[in-house]
C-alpha cells in the first residue's frame, strides 16, 4: 500500500526521501510523476498533499487519510469532492517559530528605523533618530489561531505593546484581545504595525480593504504572513501611494509565484518575500505526519483534525 505525495513542486524529492525512510514498507508516489494513475489509484492509502488539484482525491478508493503539508486549509476547503476520511492539518512548531521571528524582524526594522538608516548609509549621512520605547510601539495581530498567538506572544515577550483581534473571543497574557467586527476599529486604531495572521475563508476575503486601512493611524505598516486574498491589493497600493501606510511587507499573494507584472515587485514601500516566512521543512514536519499516519493505522485519532466547512 502506498502514499501519494504532492507538495506542489516544493521539495518533493526531500519529502519523498523522508517519507520513504519513515515508512520503508510503503511505496511513495509523487503525484505529477505517476505514469498510470488509474492503475496506481487503488494502492493509495494516504495523501500527503498541498494545494492538490480539486476533485482528484476522490479517485483513491482505499484512501484512509489526507495529511496536509501546511497549516492553511483553504485549498482543501475549496474542493467539493473530498472523501470522508480524516483531514489532518500540519501545525509544526518549527514553522510557527519561524513565522514569529519573521514578524519580530520586520517589527523591529520598523520600530528602530533600520530602513531609514539603510537609505542614510547610501547618502553617507550620520544622523541618529529618536524612537519610542518598544512598550509604546503598538502592534495589532489579526487572527489568533496557532500562528497569530505565537506571533503575538513573541512580540509581547520582546517588549512590544501587542493587541490581538480574532473573529472569536481569545485570551492571551499581557495582550489586549478584541473580537467580532464591532471591536475591530478599537483593535486597530493604535496600530503602528498591523500583522495579518487570519485564515482565508469566505468572511476574510479582502478583509484588509480601504475601510480597515483608513482606521489605522497614518503611517502604519502592514505585514502579511497569511494569504494574499485577504488583502484588497488596489486598496493597499493606493494607501501606500497616498502615504496612509508607510510600508508593506508581503510574504503571500493572491497569485503565487507573484507575477512579474505586479506593482508590488517595484514599489519602493513594499518588501516582497516568496512565501517563506514559515516554510515547511521535511526535517521537522515529516515526524508529525508519520505519527499521524501511524495513529490512523492503529485506529487512533490523528490530530489536529480539520473540519471542512459545511456547504
**Footprint of ligand GLV on this chain (CB under 6 A)?**
70-72, 280
Q: How far is the CB of 308 from ligand GLV (least distance, A)?
A: 15
Max intra-chain CA distance, the chain: 69
Q: What is the DSSP letter of 257?
A: S
Q: How far is the CB of 306 from ligand GLV (least distance, A)?
A: 12
**CB of 187 or CB of 225, closer to ligand GLV:** 225
Q: Are 55 and 35 in contact (CB under 8 A)?
A: no
The length of the chain in residues reads 311
**CB of 71 or CB of 282, closer to ligand GLV:** 71
**CB of 197 or CB of 221, closer to ligand GLV:** 197
**CB of 190 or CB of 273, closer to ligand GLV:** 273
Give the span between the Cα atoms of 300 and 41, in whole angstroms.
Answer: 24
**CB of 70 or CB of 302, closer to ligand GLV:** 70
Q: Which helix (H) or strand (E) holds 248?
A: strand 245-250
Q: What is the DSSP letter of 170?
A: -
Give the span between the Cα atoms of 76 and 206, in whole angstroms.
Answer: 20
CA 308 to chain centroid: 18
Report the number of secondary-structure helices (H) and strands (E) in the chain: 11, 12
Q: In what order do the strands lie in the sheet with 87-88?
A: 27-30, 2-6, 44-49, 65-68, 87-88
Instruction: From residue 294, give the alpha-carbon distance in Å to each of 46, 52, 62, 68, 157.
Output: 11, 22, 16, 15, 36
Q: How far is the CB of 216 from ligand GLV (least distance, A)?
A: 24
Q: How far is the CB of 253 from ligand GLV (least distance, A)?
A: 11
Give the span between the Cα atoms of 274 and 257, in whole angstroms.
Answer: 7
Q: How far is the CB of 187 from ligand GLV (least distance, A)?
A: 23
Give the span between the Cα atoms of 8 and 48, in whole angstroms.
Answer: 11
Over the Cα atoms of the chain, what is R_g?
21
Confirm whether 275 is a catalytic residue.
yes
Q: How far is the CB of 225 from ligand GLV (least distance, A)?
A: 8
Catalytic residue among 227, 247, 263, 267: 227
Catalytic residue among 42, 275, 295, 306: 275
Catalytic residues: 227, 275
Amino acid at each position: 500500500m502506498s502514499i501519494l505525495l504532492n507538495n506542489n513542486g516544493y521539495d518533493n524529492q526531500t519529502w519523498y526521501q523522508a517519507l520513504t525512510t519513515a515508512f520503508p514498507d510503503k511505496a511513495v508516489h509523487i503525484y505529477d510523476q505517476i505514469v498510470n494513475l488509474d492503475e496506481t489509484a487503488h494502492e493509495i492509502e494516504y495523501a500527503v498533499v498541498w494545494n492538490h488539484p480539486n476533485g482528484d482525491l476522490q479517485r483513491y478508493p482505499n484512501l484512509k487519510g489526507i495529511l496536509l503539508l501546511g497549516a492553511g486549509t483553504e485549498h482543501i476547503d475549496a474542493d467539493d469532492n473530498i472523501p470522508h476520511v480524516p483531514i489532518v492539518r500540519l501545525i509544526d512548531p518549527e514553522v510557527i517559530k519561524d513565522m514569529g521571528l519573521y514578524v519580530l524582524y520586520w517589527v523591529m526594522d520598523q520600530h528602530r528605523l533600520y530602513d531609514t538608516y539603510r537609505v542614510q548609509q547610501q547618502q553617507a549621512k550620520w544622523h541618529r533618530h529618536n524612537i519610542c520605547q518598544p512598550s509604546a510601539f503598538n502592534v495589532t495581530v489579526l487572527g489568533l489561531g496557532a500562528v497569530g498567538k505565537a506571533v503575538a506572544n513573541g512580540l509581547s515577550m520582546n517588549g512590544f505593546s501587542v493587541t490581538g483581534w480574532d473573529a472569536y473571543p481569545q485570551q492571551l497574557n499581557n495582550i489586549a484581545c478584541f473580537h467580532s467586527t464591532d471591536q475591530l476599529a478599537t483593535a486597530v486604531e493604535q496600530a503602528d504595525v498591523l500583522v495579518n495572521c487570519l485564515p482565508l475563508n469566505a468572511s476574510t476575503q479582502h478583509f484588509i480593504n480601504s475601510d480597515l486601512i483608513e482606521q489605522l493611524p497614518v503611517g502604519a505598516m502592514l505585514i502579511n504572513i497569511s494569504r494574499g486574498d485577504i488583502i484588497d491589493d488596489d486598496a493597499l497600493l493606493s494607501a501606500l501611494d497616498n502615504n496612509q501606510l508607510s510600508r508593506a511587507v508581503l510574504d503571500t499573494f493572491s497569485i503565487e509565484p507573484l507575477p512579474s507584472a505586479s506593482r508590488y515587485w517595484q514599489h519602493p514601500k513594499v518588501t516582497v518575500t516568496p512565501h517563506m516566512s514559515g516554510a515547511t521543512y521535511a526535517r521537522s514536519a515529516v515526524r508529525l505526519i508519520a505519527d499521524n499516519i501511524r495513529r490512523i493505522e492503529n485506529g487512533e485519532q490523528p490530530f489536529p483534525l480539520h473540519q471542512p466547512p459545511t456547504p
